[in-house]
A and B are shown apart, each in its own frame.
Chain A
Amino acid sequence: MYTFSSKLKTFSFALIIIGLLGVAYGFLSTPSSVEDVKVMLQESHNNHGEVVTTHQSDENAVVESHDVAHSDDAHAEHIFHLLKNKPWSALYVALFFFFMLSLATLAFYAIQHAAQAGWSVVLFRVMEAITAYLPVGGILLFVFFVLSSMHFNHLFVWMDPEVVAHDELIQNKSGYLNVPFFLIRAAIYIVGWTLYRQNARKLTLAQDEASDISNYTKLFKRSAAFLVFFLVTESMMSWDWIMSLDPHWFSTLFGWYVFASMIVSAITTIALVSIYLKGKGYLEFVNDSHLHDLAKFMFGFSIFWTYLWFSQFMLIWYADMPEEVTYFVSRFNEYKIPFLGMLALNFVFPLLVLMNSDYKRVPWFIVTTGIVILIGHYVDIFVMIMPATVGDQWFFGIPEISSILLILGIFIYVVFTALSKAPLLAKGNPFIKESEHFHY
């Protein structure tokens, strides 16, 4: 049995409190009106001095003066909305990131059951604990969506009736993109995933005490059924929760792409939690071959993610169709460092470090790469969401960092509480002996 160390508990509370303070600061420091933004823009113009004056005189030469004044107003209002969105988007990226860790862990867990994998049984309790965040994160996300649909923020532009009224493209999509249907879909996904998670947990705990394997057989069938449900809902979830932030843009492999990002981060999280617990002496039955397998999955799925990233990017870059390519133009122009940096973090680094079979057995190698991969996939989500909501006003500052800390604190608290609730070895599983002696 694992006992949740008081040190870690205090640490998670500290993260939550610091995060809450930072998030509150983020919300308080947004400009309160368009006038504030105008003053702010004026100040930054004055600071830039000469560059701006030449720029303005150019503009005057082509546009009449009252048009300039009008476009300045529209510009300030645009910036105002972007800045208002900043703390919300920061929170949304963090909420989605940690939710996807636990969601893809659940998918990985279901795959292990459906595939009757022999090696991973000793890690099932770790995976179950990580998925314990799923209901919590699901509720947080759902509350966030309800707040968005009540116009507390302006992340999903298609939720704004005024925008839709002037936008024929969104009007044509309103059969799918409308608030009630969106919330119903979100509820179906979250409830469906949570149901499987709670059911699986119940069945494995029951299997520990059982004298036959009827629970195991049930879980096998339910995992297979869940995977079908998951594949459909995950794809739709990525359209709803991420792609609809850019309602003019669409991509067919987007669902897969989000899934690749999810699964590699989830496997990394499983590896990190396992290494932490093993370091504390709670998982003596986990050997370096199990870590080697996890690291292989991290390596393989990192490359899978890159493959999908590149397939999406290159097809759009190559054809260069205006309605598709704006997505990457705004990301490439305004987000160059995160956009290209994540390729180094998510592809080049894991590729070179995790290629060697010996390195994949060394815990600190896996931890280092794992942290890099997790940062890289946070950046990935950041680059998916931020350009649509805050545009060129992005900055990785207090609201972003404290949102991560806040949700990380909740995540750690929930996961390690769940770990302390059940023995760390799923001893009823028929493959447990094979898994304990797993050697590669």
Chain B
Amino acid sequence: MSNKVIQAMYNDDDVLMDAVKQVRTANHHIEEVYTPFPVHGLDKAMGLKGTRIAITAFLYGCVGFSFAIWMMNYMMIENWPQDIGGKPSFSFFLNMPSFVPIMFELTVFFAAHLMVITFYMRSKLWPFKEAENPDPRTTDDMFVMEVAVEGNENELVSFLEKTGTVEIKVTEKH
């Protein structure tokens, strides 16, 4: 197995989308696409699976909700049920309305923060992480599609040249 990839560079997202579709129909494997901004519909064209991050957020929200209930119940009802301004601390439900703001905020807090952390972990983002950018221009105005080389390299290059690319580089996979 060769470790080579072809980096085909485009300067327009419409051209890129067409190229992705052509490469997919020709059954070449797209390693990665680098774009300076989100290209609407690119994930569908590449055949990427939908994200499950919303599901994780829902579950994290449930965790936060449960945590809030447990915490308020333990502190205000079980551990030290003091009479504070006549609030009924006999049971959780009698005093529930005053806990709702905390229950709500903790649900949102858990859902939001844990989802963001999940996103960082899954997309391998952290401070001092080395950038994986194949070409600095892809953060400005260029689009790069990386295609794995399997079989005939020259054939693949000439195929990609016909898809509207402005530059083609064959490199070792990093």
Which residues of A pack against B, CB within 8 Å? Answer: 310, 313-314, 317-318, 320, 355, 357
Tell yes or no: B98 within 8 A of A by CB: yes
The answer to whether B86 and A313 touch across the interface, beta carbons within 8 angstroms, is: no
Which residues from chain B contact A310 at a C-beta distance below 8 Å? Answer: 97, 100
Interface string of B103-141 (1 = CB under 8 A from A): 000000000000000000000000000000000000000
Distance in angstroms between the alpha carbons of A169 and B147 in the assembled complex: 81
The answer to whether A314 and B100 touch across the interface, beta carbons within 8 angstroms, is: yes
Which residues from chain A contact B98 at a C-beta distance below 8 Å? Answer: 314, 318
Distance in angstroms between the alpha carbons of A310 and B104 in the assembled complex: 12
The answer to whether B58 and A355 touch across the interface, beta carbons within 8 angstroms, is: yes
- Min CB gap B52→A, angstroms: 12
Q: Is the interface of B mostly helix, strand, loop or mixed?
A: helix
Nearest A residue to B58, CB-CB: A355
Query: What is the count of residue pairs linking A and B with beta-carbon distances less than 8 angstroms?
Result: 12
Which residues from chain B contact A318 at a C-beta distance below 8 Å? Answer: 97-98
Distance in angstroms between the alpha carbons of A423 and B54 in the assembled complex: 40
Distance in angstroms between the alpha carbons of A365 and B86 in the assembled complex: 44
A-B contact list, 12 entries, CB within 8 Å: A310-B97, A310-B100, A313-B97, A314-B97, A314-B98, A314-B100, A317-B97, A318-B97, A318-B98, A320-B86, A355-B58, A357-B54
Distance in angstroms between the alpha carbons of A51 and B54 in the assembled complex: 56
Which residues from chain A contact B86 at a C-beta distance below 8 Å? Answer: 320
**4 closest cross-chain pairs (CB), A and B:** A314-B97, A317-B97, A318-B98, A310-B100
Distance in angstroms between the alpha carbons of A313 and B97 in the assembled complex: 9
Distance in angstroms between the alpha carbons of A357 and B51 in the assembled complex: 12
- Min CB gap A438→B, angstroms: 14
Q: Is the interface of A mostly helix, strand, loop or mixed?
A: helix
Distance in angstroms between the alpha carbons of A313 and B100 in the assembled complex: 12
Which residues from chain B contact A355 at a C-beta distance below 8 Å? Answer: 58
Nearest B residue to A358, CB-CB: B50
Nearest A residue to B101, CB-CB: A314
Distance in angstroms between the alpha carbons of A313 and B86 in the assembled complex: 17
Which residues from chain B contact A357 at a C-beta distance below 8 Å? Answer: 54
Distance in angstroms between the alpha carbons of A212 and B66 in the assembled complex: 59
Nearest A residue to B41, CB-CB: A439
9 additional contacts (CB under 8 A) given A313-B97, A318-B97, A355-B58: A310-B97, A310-B100, A314-B97, A314-B98, A314-B100, A317-B97, A318-B98, A320-B86, A357-B54
Nearest B residue to A355, CB-CB: B58
Interface string of B42-80 (1 = CB under 8 A from A): 000000000000100010000000000000000000000
Distance in angstroms between the alpha carbons of A320 and B54 in the assembled complex: 40
Distance in angstroms between the alpha carbons of A81 and B97 in the assembled complex: 35
Distance in angstroms between the alpha carbons of A314 and B87 in the assembled complex: 12
- Min CB gap A231→B, angstroms: 27
Nearest A residue to B97, CB-CB: A314
Which residues from chain A contact B97 at a C-beta distance below 8 Å? Answer: 310, 313-314, 317-318
Which residues from chain A contact B58 at a C-beta distance below 8 Å? Answer: 355
- Min CB gap A304→B, angstroms: 14
Nearest B residue to A318, CB-CB: B98
Most chain A CB atoms below 10 A, which of B86, B97, B100: B97
Distance in angstroms between the alpha carbons of A146 and B6 in the assembled complex: 82
Most chain B CB atoms below 10 A, which of A313, A317, A355: A317
Distance in angstroms between the alpha carbons of A106 and B50 in the assembled complex: 37
Nearest A residue to B86, CB-CB: A320
- Min CB gap B163→A, angstroms: 26
- Min CB gap A316→B, angstroms: 10
Which residues from chain B contact A320 at a C-beta distance below 8 Å? Answer: 86
Nearest B residue to A313, CB-CB: B97
- Min CB gap B42→A, angstroms: 16
- Min CB gap A184→B, angstroms: 39
